[in-house]
Structure 1
Amino acid sequence: MATPQTPYEAVLHAARDVTRLDSALDAEMLGAALLGSVYAVAETDREAAVREFVTGFLAVTARRRSAAATTIRSVFAALVPEAEGTARVRPGAYAPAWAGQLGKVHLTGAWAYGDVYGDQTSYLATFAYDDAEGGPEHALVALVDHNIGITKDVFVGGPAERIVEQAREICTEDELTWFRTEDPARMRAEVGRYLAVTDSLDELPAQGSLATDRALVGARLAVLPGRAVAADAGTRPPATDEERSRLIRGFLGSPEAARFGLDSVADAELPSLHFCLGLLLDHAASFPDADPTRWSPMVAELFLLDWVHRRAVLDMDDAAMLPRVLRGWAAYASRLRGLPAAAAHRTDEAIEEMIPEFARLYSTGERRSPATAAVAQLMADGVDPDDPAALNAWIEANRHRLTDDPA
């Protein structure tokens, strides 16, 4: 056979044996994998790229009459029904017996599970075809990473019952995880809004089945009650100034603050204490769900070993106090959230283990952003940022270090 000349011809060639598959589920998984190649290489909105590809494919193949061509057209129409031309797709004369079941599934159960810290939530739903001829009951699993703010991975497969039981058993054996029955409408909204962010990424997460299963996941989510939501819908806004003040007052009067000696610091240390507390709240505000009480070993690592070096200029007093403030705040936040003692202890241990690396990064400045490095140098040179004349003179004298153009 000649080498396919267009992407559409390449897809037709790859789908040449689609009619030999055993079920509608197998065909939908094949179709999703083929569309996954489009999703993976798209440079802009990946979901839109897949929809546009299906629109073009249906237009180009409208006169094809082979069993493989008419069947894969039906598969794509079931996976991406919002593409133009899907309403005109008809099964071919030699369609497989299962072709009438493409996309005809109903929900049989929905659950969610994750870690008690709120770093990640996995959503799990099971589906069955309206007619057993369509294929076996199968499961959809979507992993939402709240620290990155994306749907990090998705998977469709089976056996559905075994997947559900494995997830339940894992969570039962680990006190730092949870498992619950989930509202299907909530699952659709949560997975959908984070998936919308994933669709817009310049680069997809490296591992998993996100690209190959994305189209099938979208089709299954559409079966759930509710409707698709915008990427920023339902996100928690950053704390207001009043809320920040209330949280800080509550913390300074807490047993956790007393435990770390933060309830009665010397007057000279107060500026550093409040600066460090402000950094913790600023970091929380940088997440899509800006909860200032959500701290975990991973969130603490993102803050102490990365974010603070890129976003803040610390003097020696600040650097000396910050780990202690973080330990106190994380313990306080764990109590407010009602986390198990083991969870709070694990976070505290993790922070303590990070302190040497934090100190090293502070001393080397290797993770400072150019802007942060410039401000740090300005302060080291004794320049008052509030003195416009002194600031302008310093900028002129150091322009060669602040720009790529020495002129």
Structure 2
Amino acid sequence: MSPVSRVRKRVSEPEPQSVNGLFKDILKDFASVGTEPDPLEVELLTSEVTGQWWDFPLEEDESPISLELITFASRKITPGAAALLAALKVLAETEEEREEAASALETVLGRGIPAPDWADTLGQVTLGECVASRDVYGDETSLLCTFSYGEAKHGLLALLDFTDGGRVRDVVVVDAPDEVLADMRKQAAEDGDLVTIVDVEPARAHQLLADGFATTDAIEEPDVSEDFARFRTLALARLRAFPEPAESPELQELTDEARDEVVAEFLAAEHEVEDNEATRAVARLLVDYGCEYEPVNPLRVGPEKLARFLETLLDGEFELDEEYEPVLGDVLLAWAGWGADRAGVPDAAKLALLSAVADYLEEFGQDDDSLADVYLDGTEEFADQEELAATIERRMFAIPSVYTEIGDEELELEPTDPEQRRLLVIGEHPEYHEALAAEEFDGEPRMQLALKTAVVDQLWDNEPAEVWEAASRLSESGAERDDVLERLTEVLAKQLQPAGTDELAFDLDEYRKALTQM
């Protein structure tokens, strides 16, 4: 999705240590909109402001930041406060916030501040056409909906990801929707075997967007575009210009018996794949994956969906017994072909799908080599492949990813370097990043991070070996990685004893004994 979006100066990022300062800056922004602004510009400003905290975690007794902003503005006697509240009265995400903004606006106006001349125009858009461009497999859909303020048109363009429940992965406001639509039609004309374009009924568009945003919001750390938060509030407000949404598709609740029947149907149709325990296990895993990640259409196949299936095997989200791995490639290719035939995918698209899956399998097969490059420094010697694999498994538990984010910087690091390995540990604790950058990091938090780093180093070096043995037992009992590391850190902390100024020591034998008792 590459539209030309309406761009304005970004609002400064919030500073947690000065919420009142942030609120004052917001009121200044709204005071500067003037008496006759383009209503879309006011809406974009409001959306950008509220987007700063759309995924900000709140404690149970904490009020949403938007409500705190409304309360703050209600105490001011300024045109900026009136402008902000007039905008939130229309655009705030929840009905509670809109009602609070309306009440606060009346309070401010009652003190003699005039209502903005443009206040009654916000949100009074006319809905135009809705058009969807989608790949023939159903992995992704770009949905363009047009709106107008009189003769001035704009569009809302959302990218829906059906490999992950139909969530909205990207959304932007475009100021030239006709040009974007022309590009979508051109692509469909040039790639007719892979891309289709269709008109969408407004009620259906409403359902797709509403369900898509709800799915994204339900994900703890959603992978969204950089501009998603910036346009999210305006997109949700535009949904109120649609007719009532169509009914959401029913989820296909497949019982264990029904899933086994799908496997049997697949193997009966694909004569090139032998029907045995291994092929049934792989096929059943594909059915289970579809039911987990796309319950509306669990048997659908597409390049992105099958690529993500392989990623879940690499990440350990879905586990495939090692003895079944030799048939994975044959079953996955057969599944892709069977699913494409079942969905009536054109022959050219089916060939493209099979080619993509073959490429994914080639990359998947090279994974052991790439992991060795990441987790081994080239100096180690191993008695056999089993010892090598066990070492990589242990180190992947200690450091599951070489990517991290510290502050605003995204990093790819080498875990074989102890200092870079420490940074990867730090990256798992964003709550400490600001204090670290300000060199104010001391006391208990500093000790906890140092202890966790020590445990990770012990796991990496397998010294003492009892650390990994304890971690394995805890993991096999169902404990998550974070819980395992926390418990190992607690055991290490209990062994530490003061040994002079700013020094600590521990009895290695007692430490090993404590680990064996976990």
For normalisation by structure 1, the TM-score amounts to 0.77
Stretches of structure 1 that go unaligned for 5 or more consecutive residues are 371-396
1:74 to 86, 98, 111: 86
1:392 corresponds to: none
Residues 210 and 355 of structure 1, relative CA distance in 2, 3 Å threshold: closer
Q: Secondary structure at the match of 1:109?
A: strand
Q: Provide the residue aligned with 1:111 in structure 2.
A: 131
The 5 A counterparts of 1:89-238 are 89=105, 97-129=117-149, 131=150, 136-149=152-165, 150-175=167-192, 176-205=194-223, 207-226=225-244, 234=249, 236-238=251-253
1:22 corresponds to: 37
The Cα RMSD (Å) is 3.1
CA distance in 2, matches of 1:209, 1:190: 20
Partner of 2:148, secondary structure, is strand
Identity %: 25
- Give the secondary structure class of the aligned counterpart of 1:283: helix
CA 206–225 in structure 1, closer or farther in 2 if over 3 Å, else same: closer
Q: Counterparts of 1:2-401 in structure 2 under 5 Å?
A: 5-19=20-34, 22-40=37-55, 42-43=56-57, 52-80=64-92, 82=95, 83=97, 84-88=99-103, 89=105, 97-129=117-149, 131=150, 136-149=152-165, 150-175=167-192, 176-205=194-223, 207-226=225-244, 234=249, 236-254=251-269, 257-258=270-271, 261-262=272-273, 265=274, 270-307=276-313, 310=316, 311-316=318-323, 318-361=324-367, 364=389, 399=470, 401=472
Per-residue deviation, residues 325-346 of structure 1 (Å, max 9, x unmatched): 1111110110110111122111
Instruction: Report the alpha carbon displacement of residue 308 of structure 1 after superposing the two structures with TM.
Output: 6.5
Q: Contact 1:19–1:71 at 8 Å: present in 2 too?
A: no
Alpha-carbon contact 1:122-1:144 (below 8 Å) kept: yes
SS at structure 1 position matched to 2:196: strand
**Kept after mapping to 2: 8 A contact 1:331/1:344:** yes
**Structure 1 residues 32 and 346: alpha-carbon distance in aligned structure 2, compared to 1, 3 A threshold:** same
Higher relative contact order (CA 8 A, sep 6+): 1
Change in 2 beyond 3 A, CA 1:4/1:327: closer
Structure 1 residue identity aligned to 2:164: I
Post-superposition offset of 1:185: 1.4
CA contact (8 A) 1:111 1:179 kept: yes
Shift of 1:193: 1.6
Following superposition, the deviation at residue 399 of structure 1 comes to: 4.8
After alignment, is 142-151 or 336-345 more displaced? 142-151
Normalised by the length of structure 2, the TM-score is 0.62
Question: CA separation in 2, counterparts of 1:304 and 1:63?
Answer: 55
1:286 counterpart SS class: helix
Q: 1:398–1:55: structure 2 CA closer, same or farther, 3 Å change rule? A: closer
Change (3 A) 1:197 1:179: same
Say how many residue pairs are matched: 357
The aligned residue for residue 373 of structure 1 is none
User: 4+ residue runs of structure 1 moved beyond 4 angstroms?
Assistant: 90-97, 362-370, 397-400
Query: Which residue number in structure 2 is paired with residue 389 of structure 1?
Result: none
**1: distance between equivalents of 2:231 and 2:222?**
13
Q: Partner amino acid for 1:315? A: E
| Contact map agreement 1:4 1:13 (CA 8 A) in 2 | no
Q: Is the 8 A contact 1:193 1:228 kept in 2?
A: no
CA distance in 2 between counterparts of 1:288 and 1:225 reads: 26
